Chain A
Amino acid sequence: MTDISQPHTPDTTNDQFRKIWTSPRNLFGLFMTGLTGLFAAIAILPLAAIVINVASQGLPLINLDLFTKLPPPPGLSGGGLGNAIVGTLIVLGVAFVISTPIGVLGAVWLSEFGRGSKIAYWVRFSANVLSGVPAIIAGLFSYTIVVMTMGTFSAFAGGVALAVVMLPIVMRTTEEGLVLVPEEVRLAAFGLGATRFETVSRVVLPAALPSIATAVTLALARAGGEAAPLLFTALNNNFWSTDLFRPIATLSVQIYFFAIIPFKPQQELAWAGALVLLSIILIVSIVSRFLTRRKSY
């Protein structure tokens, strides 16, 4: 019956198209649909577990002291993470000051001037590769160029390391925001006799400002959670410090150190710190998601 010059002759019964759920093909499809659905459920589980566990462990420990006091000496209870919270903000401030101008203006070149050029291709390529480079490498880099030259661990060195983490994120997401600015807007500005600088600074950047702000905020949130680049740049500090050129405590490094020492009060502080860090990051991610979604429609 392999002669296909004769077409299929349909049988005249009305059953010919009945969907047979037990046929191997349909069973296979049902199985696969169920399996992948199960996978999706499994993937949500750790997120839910982490959020619930961190909240239940950390919430009882949230009080004013957490934000205003120094950590207690090993083994003693009480105290807070006040210096680490301030330290995280300072280090992020340094990283912001370094990475935002470079990232945003670099993105301006990519989207406004270099579009389609060979150089732009390689810059984008480097940005993508750099965003895949392990965060701890950024720490080593900052160690060799800042800590070794200045002879001391410092908040500034931590900021440099985080800037390396932030830079590719800021540049690529800003570029995506700039590309969304309609071409007519640029043409209109050029048509009125504006220079490239005037077009970008007065028209394109303001139009893309919400998406740039989102990009920078997301990059800050991501960097704020990083501990690896800070371990041997900002190091740690058990006391209050706002000096850029001395070691400084940060929330993420503090969580790490408190998680691996065997004292209950410190471990509790680690959970409380984790809750603070996680809440900020999740809130920023969720809010920016809604902002950008509204933007795109």
Chain B
Amino acid sequence: MIMTRNPQPTPKVVLQVQNASIFYGSFRAVRDVTMDIYANEVTALIGPSGCGKSTLLRCFNRMNDLVPGARVEGKITYHGKDLYARDVDPVEVRRRIGMVFQKPNPFPKSIYDNVVFGARVNKYKGDFDELLETSLRQAALWDEVKDKLQESGLSLSGGQQQRLCIARAIATKPDVILMDEPCSALDPISTLKIEELIHELKQNYTIVIVTHNMQQATRVSDRTAFFNAEATEQGNRVGYLVEYDHTSVIFNNPKQKATMDYVSGRFG
């Protein structure tokens, strides 16, 4: 599918960002983003440091609520429902829209307890052992840990810990998985494993991934959004969306010069 426009019918929109700006107190961190995120695709957010891609990602499951003074203007909808509507429970949002962090962050509990944590707090009625195995299998970690499920999650290697965190996110049965530079703390081999995993997971989940690594974006994503930052009159830097398209278009034939400069490494 080289250079062909719309090779298949446009898939369903899961997350829709309409003219969103994100503020910390009076400081605007991201301005006027409009983009759609499609079901069962991997969408990569790329761009230089401080361009607001992680900030935007954290707005998708309202993790930014935890930052005092953070607020969103404009609209972010999930299957048409405004995520920031008054009657939306952020706890429920985070269950449906899971998140994997930059640094692997297993709880200081056993592997077993880590994976079933979400199921426990969400009063999951089914079979925990089955949930555990399916989640760990999907995260490609089952074979490595099946004999030591009671060991601490912290005893695993960095790459294993990150896959444990992915398994933990999967076990809450989310619809969307957000990944905030999931490989930046990992070695190349672990990175490759996570990337393979993302390919597998795409069949069942919608994935949004923030990455610094452009090769990674080309390897894993279907669509790519390129963000950049510009100085404001107040001397702050505000992030904005430069271009959003199929990954092949962004990397081979971008419409904006800034995108071309960035993906070809002639940036800054």
Contacts and interface: CB of A to CB of B under 8 A. Distances in A.
Touch between chains A and B, by CB atoms below 8 Å = yes
A16 B81 contact: yes
Contacts of A25: 91, 121, 123
B220 to A, nearest CB: 18
B89 A20 contact: yes
A17 B126 contact: no
A14 B171 CA distance: 24
A9 B93 CA distance: 14
B89 A2 contact: no
B134 interface: yes
A197 B194 CA distance: 57
A275 to B, nearest CB: 41
A17 B94 CA distance: 10
Indicate the size class of the contact surface on chain A: 10 to 19
Given A10-B79, A10-B175, A14-B81, A4 B88 contact: no
Given A12-B79, A18-B87, A19-B88, A4 B173 contact: yes
B92 to A, nearest CB: 5
A4 B81 contact: no
Most buried by A among B93, B135, B174, B204: B204
Interface residues of B, number: 29
Contacts, number: 60
A262 interface: no
Nearest to B171: A4
B79 A6 contact: no
A118 interface: no
B135 A4 contact: yes
Contacts of A14: 80-81
A51 to B, nearest CB: 33
Nearest to A12: B79
Interface string B133-144: 011001000000
Contact of A18 (B83, B89, B123, B171): B89
Nearest to A13: B81
A5 B87 contact: no
A2 to B, nearest CB: 4
A18 B138 CA distance: 30
A22 to B, nearest CB: 12
A270 B48 CA distance: 71
A1 interface: yes
Interface of B: 78-81, 83, 85, 87-89, 91-93, 96, 121, 123, 126-127, 130-131, 134-135, 138, 170-171, 173-175, 204-205
Closest 8 CB pairs of A and B: A19-B89, A2-B126, A17-B88, A8-B173, A18-B87, A7-B204, A14-B81, A17-B92
11 contacts: A2-B130, A5-B134, A7-B205, A8-B96, A8-B175, A10-B78, A12-B79, A16-B96, A17-B81, A17-B85, A17-B96
Interface of A: 1-10, 12, 14, 16-20, 25-26
Given A3-B134, A4-B131, A7-B173, 17 more contacts: A2-B131, A4-B173, A5-B134, A5-B204, A7-B204, A7-B205, A8-B96, A8-B173, A10-B79, A14-B81, A16-B81, A17-B81, A17-B83, A17-B85, A17-B92, A18-B87, A19-B89
